[in-house]
Amino acid sequence: MSKDFAFSIKSIIFDENYHPSDNTRLTTNFANLARGTSRQENLRNTLKMIDSRFNSLAHWDNPKADRYAVELEIISVELNIDVKGGNIPLIEILKPTIIDKKTGERIAGIAGNNFSSYVRDYDFSVLLPEHNNNQSAFSAPEDFGDFHGKLFKHFVRSNTYKEHFNKAPVICISASSSKTYLRTENQHPILGVEYQQNEFSSTDEYFEKMGMQVRYFMPTNSAAPLAFYFIGDLLGDYSNLELIGTISTMETFQKIYRPEIYNANSAAGKVYQPSLKNQDYSLTQIVYDREERSQLAVKQGKYTEEHFIKPYKHILEQWAANYAL
């Protein structure tokens, strides 16, 4: 059955002229920024923040802090299961390209920024609430995330992925507000100080089924640790500039839509628990509708159920049962 699961990739540049296409997941952070009367100013300011953060971290041979710029490309992944024709939208990620203005070199960054997934929306916004409906204690189904994990692994191992990307993805997201993080003595020159969580979060377990490990680092001059999900060796597989591309992009987005944590006025201490109730933080000059995003996640989870999970239920179950991990 795996031969019937083929992937296709489309891409569009994310710049100040970006307009979300009709089939873009509107829950995606970059799509949220690109709507409304402030759309172009939002985009322009976001890109400036990314470039500034990149240059602050890539400070060597960069006396004016203007040597580098970051170009972002939105990668949309579609799945063709060879039934009824047509493709099903599956995943969207950002891929940075680093521009060295001194040498003119274009350096490929790490794919995976702003990872978003239709099936993940279904799992967390439809399946999980239904499973816990009228239950006295919160829990997840035993096989929660199994299918999504297999789909993601199949994509990363596919020829389509290898044709477009030369390294495994790194997905960088916010630390969980339900967990406590302890600062360690380990410090990386780019990623910064490493933190360790007191226990796995549901997101950690979900990404583990995608074949990804997690480590938490707080880069220099950051307010809180970021979660880095990766395959292989996070510290050994990527160059300094590649890691900076991921940090500068994702920290910027986190400052915009989680300012209570990532734009806090004081940095995380030795023992740290993120909180969206923190009042001591600064707002960016960028308009972001967090409430709309959470509402759309439910709508798109239901869309996935209606157009993908239910119509192809038997095919998906047969494929998942036979997929070799």
Predicted local distance difference test score (pLDDT) of residue 25 = 46
Write the pLDDT tens digit of every residue in 121-135: 999 999 999 999 888
Grade residue 2 by pLDDT with cuts at 50, 70 and 90: very low
pLDDT value at 30 more than 70: no
Find the DSSP H helices in 258-312. 259-262, 290-304
- Token representation of residue 283: 């707002």
What lies within 8 Å, CB to CB, of 227 at 6+ separation is 172, 173, 174, 175, 176, 203, 214, 215, 216
Predicted local distance difference test score (pLDDT) of residue 42 = 84
Grade residue 27 by pLDDT with cuts at 50, 70 and 90: very low
Please give the Cα distance from 319 to 138 (Å, whole number): 29
Quickly count: other Cβ atoms within 10 Å of residue 59's Cβ. Answer: 11
Please give the Cα distance from 94 to 92 (Å, whole number): 7
Residue listed under structure tokens 């702003």: 114
Grade residue 81 by pLDDT with cuts at 50, 70 and 90: confident
DSSP 168-225: --EEEEEPPTTS-EEEEEEEETTTEEEEEESS--HHHHHHHTTT-EEEEEE-TT-SS-
**φ, ψ of residue 146 in degrees (nearest 5):** -60, -50
Contact present, 185 and 31 (Cβ < 8 Å): no
- Token representation of residue 277: 């109730």
| Cα radius of gyration (the chain) | 20
**φ, ψ of residue 99 in degrees (nearest 5):** -100, 115
pLDDT value at 4 more than 70: no
H-run or E-run covering 73: strand 68-80
